[in-house]
Structure 1
Amino acid sequence: MPYIFSHREYADMVFVYGFCNGNTVRSVEEYRRRFPNRRIPNRQVFQSVFTRAGESGMFPSASIVSEKQQGLSLEHEENILDVVENNPGISTRRMAIQSEIPQTMVWKTLKRQGLNAFHLQKVQNLQEGDYPLRLQFCQWIRENRRLLKCILFSDEAQFTRDGINNYHNNHRWSNENPHATQEHNFQHRFSINVWCGILNDQLFGPFVLDGRLTGEGYLHFLEDHLEEILDDVPLNIRQRMIFQHDGAPPHYSNNVRNFLNTHFGDRWIGRGGPHPWPPISPDLTPLDFCLWGWMKSLVYARKVDTRDALLDRILNAAAFIRANHRSLKLATRSIYKRANKCIEVGGGIFENVMRINATCFFGLLVS
């Protein structure tokens, strides 16, 4: 039993448990009311102490600890809780050093108090002027929900040789240190820039962009390749289709905006467009919160050694995702829920406070 109490405390627990007719929830509250200055046992302690007393006629063996030791234990526990309250992000190692208590005891104390370590979630940094722009766009989405299936969400991403590595999860299980290493390819790097689009449940692309994306290169893509990429989209949908891209500098050039105004009129979303795209908003486009993470998890499942191999992986990953129409459709539809949550928090970051019921991540539906 992980709890240490005195004989007197155990006796009082049994009395309170009987007073509450075996109701452990009421026992905790009654014990807290009667002994506000004591450490409060949880429901399992009441049940365990009563059961052991009934079966063996004895309290748990931990009760042999003296009252003086109990006082010291409680004092140490309070020191640990004070450290956590003043610095919620502190590690258990530093906690042990500051409170002069073994780290294992720190862990037990935190567990006994119901405290858990939660990882921080990395989010975008919003400026003061970003909030009203995000609100404006999300309100437009909420008022025009039927248009979601007509929006072609688009974006570009770069795939490199090494991909994205999380070294915290790179390890080798062994009886002895194998001194394993992870190679870097600083002198033999290569990368591929690709464009992709999502329209309702359809994935378009990837289209390989030459070199670093510029306004001129992006305009060339729109003029010479976009229509061919969308060739399979029915005419009645293309006539209603709304083109979306973010506020990246190449998207904002005068020539690009003139092209979109000419070919889409008021049916495009972007910086400087008829429907402004809010800055710092990857949480509102399915390519950022769904596609790229999913695709890179497939591409980098194994080490990539050549640019041709990397391109093959990208194409194969896209083919696999393209066949998952349901995941793509749910990701697109989830934007409506995301827009509502964004409005609830005044245009701020919302992914850390919501349960996303309709999105895809690495090919799975998260709820």
Structure 2
Amino acid sequence: MVCGFRAGRTNIEIATFNNIPHGTVRNFRMTYNKFVEDGGKEEEFDVTNGKRKRRSDAHDDDIVDNIQQIIDKDPGRSMRGIARELSVSDFLFMSAATKERRAERAAALLNKFKHPPDKDMLIFYSDEKNFNQDQKVNKKNNRWLCSDPSEVPIVMATKFPATVMVLGVISNKGDVMPPHVFEAGLRVNSKVYLDVLKNIVKPWMDQVAGDRPYLWQQDGAPAHTAKKVQDWCEDNFPHFWGKEVWPPSSPDLNPLDFFVSPHSTKQSLINSITEVFANFDRESVVNACSRVRSRLEEVVDAKGISFVK
């Protein structure tokens, strides 16, 4: 692997050549890059440095103390960032119920990948993103780790920030739907979402697929899991993963999350998102979608662990 890193080979090329999981190569590359960035000499890198700490060792006093020091220094650090810095899994920060459900669904979904209804199945992945002027401080996603609410700093925010909700769809064969931008101020409930599926998403997928069989993926957002949406998808798509299929808390499994990098403000989004989607390299989209199966295998092997995108 190290020779491949030095030769400038991609993770996929290294994984294929060595017949090892792509996720293994990705994890070692992260460790290798950090070793070099910290001043280490390339020829001194030892692949054993890339091995994760065992989960049984994760709660020792040193780890707990290190976590507390990081929180004291920056209570706004994400839990995933803390786990990455300490070279431990963010499995430590996930609830037992979520880990169990995520592992169970990942195993079931992995089985679907191994035994698809049709050999050359088109899989359409979807995701929605909400952008606003205050995107860098998102009260839904950002956390401040402390013991007293008074310790949370006050953050100035726009009184009525402009927002935009965008739906993206890509396929495992490299097809990219022009991003659909929802009307400003529109609450995307099941009625609105179903209307977009009927009039925009399905016609585009039918055109792209032609006579080929295809499958529709969506996450567990409330608008997606509503009964009328689930029933319509079941009746109108050739194949469909229902609400009990996709693993919870799994942006690391959706190519539109781990492959597509969002913009931080509405203005930058409006200026470039259409151009970005239009210029996606087809092969890169195919490669991103092909990584879903290996990521599912990692989730199953790690019993529900969430890993860095």
Match of 1:195 among 158, 167, 173: 167
Partner residue of 2:278? 319
Shift of 1:132: 1.9
Partner residue of 1:282? 251
Tell me how far apart the structure 1 counterparts of residues 218 and 225 of structure 2 sit (CA, whole Å): 10
Tell me how far apart the structure 1 counterparts of residues 300 and 198 of structure 2 sit (CA, whole Å): 36
Match of 2:100 among 108, 116, 128: 128
Counterpart of 2:228, as a letter, is N
* Partners of 1:152 and 1:243 within 8 A in 2: yes
Match of 1:225 among 197, 200, 208: 200
Secondary structure in structure 1 of the residue aligned to 2:181: strand
Secondary structure in structure 1 of the residue aligned to 2:208: coil
Amino-acid identity (%): 22
Displacement over 4 Å in runs of 4+: 91-94, 119-125, 145-149
Call closer, same or farther: CA 1:192–1:157 in 2, change over 3 Å.
same
Match of 2:240 among 265, 268, 286: 268
Counterpart of 1:282, as a letter, is P
Is 1:258 aligned to residue 214 of structure 2?
A: no
Counterpart of 1:227, as a letter, is K
Call closer, same or farther: CA 1:343–1:92 in 2, change over 3 Å.
closer
Shift of 1:311: 1.9
Match of 2:302 among 345, 348, 352: 345
Counterpart of 2:62, as a letter, is N
Shift of 1:92: 12
Tell me how far apart the structure 1 counterparts of residues 68 and 300 of structure 2 sit (CA, whole Å): 41
TM-score, length basis structure 1: 0.50
Partner residue of 2:110? 138
Tell me how far apart the structure 2 counterparts of residues 339 and 345 of structure 1 sit (CA, whole Å): 10
Counterpart of 1:252, as a letter, is T
Shift of 1:216: 0.7
Shift of 1:128: 3.5
Partner residue of 2:217? 244
Counterpart of 2:250, as a letter, is S
Is 1:159 aligned to residue 101 of structure 2?
A: no
TM-score, length basis structure 2: 0.59
* Partners of 1:271 and 1:278 within 8 A in 2: no
Tell me how far apart the structure 1 counterparts of residues 257 and 106 of structure 2 sit (CA, whole Å): 16
Secondary structure in structure 1 of the residue aligned to 2:187: coil
Shift of 1:120: 6.1
Counterpart of 1:248, as a letter, is A
Q: Render the CA deviation track for 1:322-355: whole Å, top value 9, x for unaligned.
A: 2x12221111111121122223223x11536xxx
Q: Render the CA deviation track for 1:264-314: whole Å, top value 9, x for unaligned.
A: 25x001305xxx2232322222112222xx2x2xx34xxx5xx56642332
* Partners of 1:213 and 1:250 within 8 A in 2: yes
Gapped regions of structure 1 (runs ≥ 5): 1-84, 95-116, 167-182, 353-360, 362-367
Q: Render the CA deviation track for 1:56-89: whole Å, top value 9, x for unaligned.
A: xxxxxxxxxxxxxxxxxxxxxxxxxxxxx73335
Partner residue of 1:33? none
Shift of 1:139: 2.1
Q: CA RMSD in A?
A: 3.4
Secondary structure in structure 2 of the residue aligned to 1:137: helix
Shift of 1:251: 1.0
Counterpart of 1:313, as a letter, is S
Tell me how far apart the structure 2 counterparts of residues 93 and 236 of structure 1 sit (CA, whole Å): 57
Partner residue of 1:330? 287
Tell me how far apart the structure 2 counterparts of residues 92 and 129 of structure 1 sit (CA, whole Å): 26
* Partners of 1:142 and 1:339 within 8 A in 2: no
Secondary structure in structure 2 of the residue aligned to 1:338: helix
Counterpart of 2:300, as a letter, is I
Tell me how far apart the structure 1 counterparts of residues 66 and 192 of structure 2 sit (CA, whole Å): 49
Tell me how far apart the structure 1 counterparts of residues 67 and 128 of structure 2 sit (CA, whole Å): 42
Tell me how far apart the structure 2 counterparts of residues 342 and 148 of structure 1 sit (CA, whole Å): 25
